[in-house]
Amino acid sequence: MPERPRVLLLCGGPSAEHDVSLASARSLLAATGDRVAWLPRVISRRGHWLDAHDSLSRLTRTTADDRGTTGETGPRLDLAALADVDAVFPLLHGPYGEDGRLQGALEVLGVPYVGSSVLASAVGMDKLAMKALFREAELPQVAYRGVTRHRWGTQREAVDAELDGLGWPAFVKPANLGSSIGIARVADRSERDAAIEEAFTHDRRVIVEAAASGARELEVAVLGLDDPRTSVVGEIHTEAAFYDYAAKYTPGAASLDVPADVPAPVADACRAYARRAFQAIDGAGLARVDLFWQPERDALWVNEINTMPGFTETSMFPRLWAATGLAYPDLALHLIELARTAR
């Protein structure tokens, strides 16, 4: 790899985590600018690529948002931006940037990129596909059922009976989304039905899960390719009923505890499950695996894997690595190196 690699940093993008992505990009540029020749490009909320100049001004403005103001005439894929780079860092969260679509375009163009491939990205975003692969890998998970909009409309009684078997409370989620959008905790059938209808406005496939009541939310960072490393365990604390959109993105509404105060055997099990979850989806580069631990029953379940976790210097993923001995700038450089060897 060249001493100072030229890396196209893609950020923003058409998901609810647009601003989180910009914050991650700002952090990365500030911390590693002397070691990486970054070429930052902001993707608008509607999927248009801003030019280099507008991208920089968007990134140096810290407050405003770009809804409908800039970039809506830019290309939907700027081939010129992709020419002559050593790698791409698709620092985008959620649909479009984290679900395999952008990864597919980069594959077509033959450009090395940070993170998971098309398959692992898509599986990581689709909760039903993810859970099927986790089950195949014998990872413990809460009980769940998938339902399509079609089946909900045509076989309601059978579906109701299946879902009742999950007990109460339950969680209803669109299969593909993230950021807790469209997710509801429901206490009875009428709440569940309303939440399912709402979830169907986001996706034609919905998942209903048994609640891991009273569980603590633990997270592990994974780094590498076929033989990945795992970090210490972290914990999310929130006063909210669950880790919903507001708790995730309102400053102060949640706090991170690194390392988590959990018994060593629990931490070891979390790390082992995180590694297995990464391998189950054939992850590459990085991922954060989220788990539920119920101390009274000593039950540990894998909740989900995120293939492009939040990446500001104070986000969980970099904090977990810092606590494991890998500082933020070194973490970024290592990911770029992995991109060059991944495929």
Ligand X SMILES: Nc1ncnc2c1ncn2[C@@H]1O[C@H](COP(=O)(O)OP(=O)(O)O)[C@@H](O)[C@H]1O
Q: Which residues 178-197 are close enough to bind ligand X by CB under 6 A?
A: 178-180, 183
Closest separation in Å from C-beta 274 to ligand X: 14
Amino acid at 99: D
In the chain the first and final C-alpha atoms are separated, in Å, by 15
For residues 124 and 285, which CB has a smaller minimum distance to ligand X in the complex?
124
Closest separation in Å from C-beta 51 to ligand X: 32
| Cβ-defined contacts of 328-335 (< 8 Å, 24+) | 328/27, 328/31, 328/32, 329/31, 329/32, 329/35, 331/223, 332/28, 332/31, 332/32, 332/36, 332/89, 333/32, 333/35, 333/36, 334/223, 335/89, 335/114, 335/115, 335/223, 335/285, 335/286
Q: Residue 186 corresponds to which tokens in the numbers above?
A: 């429901």
Residue carrying the six token digits 């986000």: 315
Closest separation in Å from C-beta 339 to ligand X: 24
Stretch that binds ligand X, among 44-52, 176-184, 197-205, 267-275 (CB under 6 A): 176-184
Beta bridge partners of 206: 147, 174
249 binds ligand X (CB under 6 A): no
Q: Which residues 93-112 are close enough to bind ligand X by CB under 6 A?
A: none
For residues 114 and 291, which CB has a smaller minimum distance to ligand X in the complex?
291
How many residues are recorded in the chain? 343
217 binds ligand X (CB under 6 A): yes
d(CA 43, CA 20): 13
Stretch that binds ligand X, among 2-10, 63-71, 174-182, 258-266 (CB under 6 A): 174-182
304 binds ligand X (CB under 6 A): yes
Closest separation in Å from C-beta 209 to ligand X: 4
d(CA 52, CA 279): 36
Closest separation in Å from C-beta 40 to ligand X: 26
Binding stretches for ligand X (CB under 6 A): 142, 171, 173, 178-180, 183, 209, 211-212, 215, 217, 242-243, 290, 303-304
